[in-house]
C-alpha cells in the first residue's frame, strides 16, 4: 500500500499542534508529570485504557480531570472499596409503578473518561464488570445492551505499597489495559513549584483545546501514521521473544519469563507507537517510538518465574533485557 508521506506529514504537523495545546493547558495545572500527560494522550488516541501505579498524592486524579476539561468530555470518578457492588458501577433496573415496567438507572460507568481509584480494592465480580465495557464499549443491564459514548477510556489506579485488603487483578483484566504506568515522586524543583502554587491559592483557568468531534478526527489521523514493514517485524520479534526467548537467542531469559505477552500486546504496541509518533508531530514511526512505549505496553503482560521473583527481577527489567537482545532495524 503506497502512502503519500508528504501530504500526510503536512497534515500531521498541522493537527499535532492541537495535541500540544492540550499538553500546554494541562501543564498550567499540573507541575511536571510530562510522562503521565503524554501517556494519557497516547491512550486516548490509541482507543485504549491505562493502569496507573503510584502512591497517593501524585496528581493522578487532577491530571485526568484537567484532561476532561481540556477536551469537553464527561468525567466520573469511582473509589473502589471491598464492599462495592457491580450495580454501583453499572447501574440497575428500577421498577416504575406508573408504567408497570423496569427502567434503567445508569451508573457512573456511563461516561467518557472514567477514573477508578484503587481498582485492586474491589472484589473480582466488580473488576469483571468492567471487562465488557473496556473491551466491547457497551454495558448490559437486564436484557438490554447499551453502547457507551465515544471516546470511552478507563484510567485505573492502584497503590503499589498497600497490599492488605486488596484483590489482585485477573490476567484477563490486566491484558485489557493498553498501558501500565509507574509514577515516581516529583523532583525537588517541581515540588517547590507545587508548594508555591498552593500557598498563593489563585485559581488557574484551563481553556478548552479540543472537542469530542475533533478528538475523534485526530484518532483517525493517528490510525494513518505510517508503520514500516521493518518496524512491524521488530514489534513481532519483541513479542515473540517474550514467549520463546531461546528461539530469539536469549536463553538467559527463558529461566526468568514464565509466560510472554499475548497477541493483543503486538496490536497495542503498534497502536501506541503510532499515537506517540503523531503526538510528537511525525507522520511515521521510528524505532525509538517502539522502544519508548515497549515498557508501558509489556511490563504487565510478562509473567515472571519463581526464579525471577527470587532474584528480584522486575517486569521492567525483563522488558529492558528484551529490548537489549532483539535487533533494531
Of the candidates 299, 284, 320, 288, the residue with the CA atom closest to the CA atom of residue 13: 284
Task: Please tell me whether residue 303 adopts helix, strand or coil conformation.
Answer: strand
In order, the DSSP letters of 206-264 are ------HHHHHHHHHHHHTSB--HHHHHHHHHHHHHHH-TTTTT-HHHHTTEEE---HH
pLDDT for residue 95:
77
Q: Which helix (H) or strand (E) element contains residue 54?
A: none
CA-to-CA distance for 198 and 193, rounded, in angstroms? 9
Domain 5-212 fold? Rossmann fold (3.40.50)
Q: Is residue 53 within 8 Å of 157, Cβ to Cβ?
A: yes
Distance CA 26, CA 248 (A): 42
Domain ranges of the chain: 5-212, 225-325
Domains 5-212 and 225-325 in one fold: no
Short-list 40, 37, 79, 75, CA closest to 56: 79
Q: What is the pLDDT along the chain (329 residues), one digit of tens a residue?
A: 566 788 888 888 888 888 888 888 888 887 788 888 899 999 999 999 999 988 777 777 788 888 888 888 888 888 888 888 888 888 887 877 787 777 778 888 888 899 988 888 888 888 878 877 888 888 888 778 888 888 999 998 887 766 565 677 777 778 889 999 988 887 888 788 878 777 766 667 777 778 888 889 999 999 999 999 999 999 999 999 999 888 888 888 888 888 888 899 999 999 999 999 999 999 999 999 999 999 999 998 988 888 888 888 888 888 899 999 888 88
| 8 Å CB contact between 272 and 42 | yes
Q: Residue 293: how many CB atoms within 10 A of its CB? A: 26
How confident is the model at residue 138, as a pLDDT?
85
Q: Which residues neighbour 19 within 8 Å (Cβ) at sequence distance 6 or greater?
A: 41, 218, 278, 279
Residue 272: what pLDDT?
Answer: 96
Predicted local confidence at residue 186, as pLDDT: 79
Domain 225-325 belongs to what architecture?
Orthogonal Bundle (1.10)
Greatest C-alpha distance within the chain: 71
Q: What is the pLDDT of residue 39?
A: 92
Task: Report the pLDDT value the prediction gives residue 201, as an integer from 0 to 100.
Answer: 65
Sequence-separated (6 or more) residues with CB below 8 Å from residue 164: none
Rounded CA gap, 157 and 119, in Å? 6
Residue 93: partners with Cβ closer than 8 Å, 6 or more residues away: 102, 103, 104, 105, 141, 142
Residues 6+ apart with CB under 8 A from 279: 16, 19, 38, 41, 42, 45
Strand extents, DSSP E, 89-239? 91-96, 101-106, 113-117, 138-141, 144-147, 153-158, 179-182
Map grid coordinates 470518578 to a residue. Answer: 77
Amino acid at each position: 500500500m503506497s502512502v503519500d508521506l508528504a501530504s500526510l506529514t503536512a497534515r500531521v504537523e498541522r493537527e499535532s499542534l492541537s495535541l500540544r495545546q492540550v499538553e500546554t493547558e494541562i501543564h498550567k495545572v499540573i507541575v511536571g508529570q510530562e510522562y503521565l500527560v503524554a501517556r494519557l494522550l497516547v491512550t486516548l488516541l490509541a482507543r485504549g485504557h491505562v493502569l496507573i501505579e503510584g502512591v497517593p498524592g501524585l496528581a493522578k486524579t487532577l491530571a485526568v480531570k484537567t484532561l476532561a476539561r481540556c477536551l469537553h468530555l464527561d468525567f466520573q470518578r469511582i473509589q473502589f472499596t471491598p464492599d462495592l457492588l457491580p450495580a454501583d458501577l453499572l447501574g440497575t433496573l428500577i421498577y416504575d409503578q406508573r408504567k408497570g415496567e423496569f427502567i434503567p438507572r445508569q451508573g457512573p460507568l456511563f461516561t467518557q473518561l472514567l477514573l477508578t481509584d484503587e481498582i485492586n480494592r474491589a472484589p473480582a465480580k466488580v473488576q469483571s464488570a468492567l471487562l465488557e465495557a473496556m473491551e466491547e464499549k457497551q454495558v448490559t443491564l437486564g436484557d438490554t445492551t447499551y453502547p457507551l459514548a465515544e471516546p470511552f477510556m478507563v484510567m485505573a489506579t492502584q497503590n503499589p505499597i498497600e497490599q492488605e485488603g486488596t484483590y489482585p487483578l485477573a490476567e484477563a483484566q490486566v491484558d485489557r489495559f493498553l498501558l501500565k504506568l509507574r509514577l515516581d515522586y516529583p523532583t525537588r524543583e517541581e515540588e517547590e513549584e507545587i508548594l508555591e502554587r498552593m500557598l498563593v491559592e489563585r485559581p488557574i483557568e484551563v481553556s478548552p483545546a479540543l472537542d469530542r468531534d475533533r478528538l475523534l478526527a485526530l484518532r483517525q489521523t493517528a490510525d494513518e501514521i505510517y508503520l514500516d514493514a521493518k518496524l512491524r517485524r521488530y514489534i513481532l520479534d519483541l513479542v515473540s521473544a517474550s514467549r520463546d526467548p531461546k528461539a530469539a537467542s536469549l536463553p538467559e531469559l527463558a529461566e526468568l519469563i514464565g509466560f510472554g505477552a499475548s497477541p493483543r500486546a503486538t496490536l497495542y504496541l503498534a497502536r501506541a507507537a503510532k499515537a506517540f509518533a503523531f503526538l510528537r508531530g511525525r507522520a511515521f514511526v521510528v524505532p525509538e517510538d517502539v522502544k519508548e512505549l515497549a515498557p508501558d505496553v509489556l511490563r504487565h503482560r510478562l509473567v515472571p518465574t519463581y526464579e525471577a521473583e527470587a532474584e528480584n527481577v522486575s517486569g521492567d527489567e525483563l522488558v529492558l533485557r528484551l529490548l537489549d537482545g532483539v535487533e533494531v532495524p
